Chain A
Amino acid sequence: MIVKNVKAYYVTRSGPEVKAVDDVSFSIRDGEVFGIVGESGCGKSTLAAVMSLTAGRMLKIKSGEMTLDSHTVALSGPIKVPKDWHGKLVALLPQQSMNSLNPTARMRNFIVDVVRAHHPLMHPDEAVRQARERLEQLALPVRVLDSYPHQLSGGMRQRVVAVISTLLNPKLLIADEPTSALDVSSQRQLIQLIQQLLERGFITRTVYITHDLPMLRNIAHRIAVMYAGKVVEVGTTEEIIEQPTHPYTQALIASTLDLDPQLRGRQIEGISGAPPDLRYPPSGCRFHPRCSRALEICSREEPPILGEEGRLVACWWVQEQSGKGYREVEQ
């Protein structure tokens, strides 16, 4: 799966557009969990809306192209989406998805509605049978089918929604902060469920969007770090966490409060300042006003993208340290 040159700007009633996602490209391999990490307002949820083709009217997609298996969709302009794209090819699991259930319907009836929206001719019993089979395969209790949402815990609801949204075996599951409203034990169970869905081939690949690096450490194969609408670094999970090269990634990891006894009594520094207003993004590198390594050129020109396929970093400072063998990539 390839996402190329996505630019998505929010239209404001007056004044400049909010450049929420600005020229983002990446590719995702089969069977992979691709993590996207960044702070609030960095454009990660906007990216999720673009990829899941659920962008609202206020979000203008300036450019971009997405290739998913044999389908290629131009994201800008009026998108002609095949009717079966949602749910069958792409499924979205948002943060509060556990609240998207119908409070007055038993799960079995809700599932019938979901499945029959795609297969109108399917018998309701067949839809429930498929859901039951899926729950059994994933070692989840079958009794949830006869429950109302309020009878299930938040963690269980989130897991059931994950199962329902992947019932049609989508090629891509976009999980946008699916665990941030859950306690740590439910978080772990949901992570393991997503891993099972991948292993059993119910979904082909996953984009996992979060602000929580320790969480990505546990699920992602590769990670892209976003800052102010741009991808600043891409690498395998080990590379990003153990050898971060971009100053922002380094600062982000340094300010993560891991449950490590060695952190006690040590002074950790956060990143000074705040993320920029994306109506008026800083010139040059968008991180330069907060960057401790900023060079003179950083405020003038956009940083070069260095490295090779699968291990990229966008930074002037890294280029200056070119002893590390980073070359500019042809875009």
Chain B
Amino acid sequence: MKQTQMPLLETRDLSRTFGHGEQTVDAVKDVSFSLQAGEIVAVVGESGSGKSTLARLLLRLLDPTAGRILLYGRDVTKLRRRKDLKSYWQQVQGVFQDSFAAFNQFYTVRRALEKSLNVLDARLSSSERLRRVEASLTEVGLDVADVLNKWPHQLSGGQLQRVMMARALVVGPELLIADEPTSMLDASLRVTVLNLLLDLRKRHNMGILFITHDLGQANYVSDRILVMYHGELVEQGPVDTVLTDPQHGYTQRLLTDVPRLSRKYGDPS
């Protein structure tokens, strides 16, 4: 299929190794994919398959050992200067698994979110800062009056996860890297966070890279799936194709081993 528009994000043979000599580990190896604006792409794989390393590379929190990252066709792999990285983070933001670890315990929600605005170039007036913080809290479905002046320990896991999303959204990013944002939440809350991702895509045409180990969640939210195994991208394609007609042996095994409500292990589908 010919790409008609410039992809929002593209990686070419992206690699990262840790250690040296005999101890070398290829955490991410020759990963190439692209993501369009308004697209939700899921990255699935077991623990240790390199999913989170990929997220850190794409957020430019970690330097790749080889390969390139392109944002709207512009090479951002070599960004070093604070100013350049800041402008990158205006467009690309992340949310992570452990919301309890993500916030400074001594900062209120308001202070934590206002600090995020420092990534912007312009110096905003304090009323403008507050307006943006309130808007993004409302956007993720939180009651502003209820949470604005609270500390992280006063919020539940589900609320804190939303605050973390608000923190990412406050700068108006075009790409969201969501690294297992739901895996510490209960089933009943998980769905509401996934629905929020779907809303964001609809409202802002945001591109979302959704990292998960749970094929059920990937099935629910994403348009395409990338399957990682031992640092390599072993399969990618539209959700329907990957889940109904998996090509790689690892994907096939994954699909037969996922517990399902509708049938027992080994039952025919």
| Chain A residues within 8 Å of B, Cβ to Cβ | 39-40, 183-185, 187-188, 191-192, 211-215, 217-218, 241, 251-253, 255-261, 263-264, 267-272, 274-275
Contacts and interface: CB of A to CB of B under 8 A. Distances in A.
A185 B253 contact: yes
A218 B258 CA distance: 10
Nearest to A192: B265
A251 B194 CA distance: 16
A255 B260 contact: no
A211 B190 CA distance: 12
Contacts of B255: 259
B73 interface: no
Interface stretch (B21-29, B59-67, B123-131, B216-224): B216-224
B219 A252 contact: no
Given A212-B259, A258-B261, A270 B216 contact: no
Interface residues of B, number: 38
A192 B257 CA distance: 12
Nearest to A185: B257
Contacts of B243: 259, 261
Contacts of B258: 184, 214, 259
A218 B261 CA distance: 8
Interface string B179-220: 000000011111110110000000000000000011111011
A179 B226 CA distance: 24
A267 B194 CA distance: 10
B115 interface: no
A277 B64 CA distance: 45
A257 B243 CA distance: 14
Interface in B14-70: 46-47
B244 interface: yes
B240 interface: yes
A188 B258 CA distance: 8
A184 B188 contact: no
A188 to B, nearest CB: 5
A259 B190 contact: no
- Nearest 5 CB-CB pairs, A to B? A270-B191, A183-B46, A271-B188, A257-B216, A214-B259
A258 B254 contact: no
A259 B189 CA distance: 18
A262 to B, nearest CB: 10
Contacts of A214: 216, 258-261
Interface string B154-189: 001111000000000000000000000000001111
Given A259-B243, A264-B239, A274 B189 contact: yes
Nearest to A268: B191
26 contacts: A40-B186, A184-B46, A184-B213, A185-B46, A185-B254, A191-B265, A211-B187, A214-B260, A217-B263, A252-B187, A253-B261, A256-B261, A257-B187, A257-B194, A257-B217, A258-B262, A259-B255, A259-B260, A260-B260, A261-B240, A263-B219, A264-B240, A269-B191, A270-B188, A270-B190, A271-B189
Interface of B: 46-47, 156-159, 186-192, 194-195, 213-217, 219-220, 239-240, 243-244, 253-255, 257-265
B220 A263 contact: yes
A183 B191 contact: no
Contacts of A184: 46, 213, 254, 257-259
Which of A211, A256, A259, A268 has the most chain B CB within a 10 Å cutoff? A259
A259 B216 contact: yes
A241 B46 CA distance: 27
A188 B191 contact: no
A218 B264 contact: yes
Which of B189, B213, B240 has the most chain A CB within a 10 Å cutoff? B189
Contacts of B253: 185
A135 B154 CA distance: 48
Contacts of A260: 219, 260, 262
Which of A258, A261, A269 has the most chain B CB within a 10 Å cutoff? A258
A51 B82 CA distance: 56
Contacts of A217: 259-261, 263-264
B142 to A, nearest CB: 12
A272 B192 CA distance: 8
Which of B214, B217, B220, B261 has the most chain A CB within a 10 Å cutoff? B261
B239 to A, nearest CB: 7
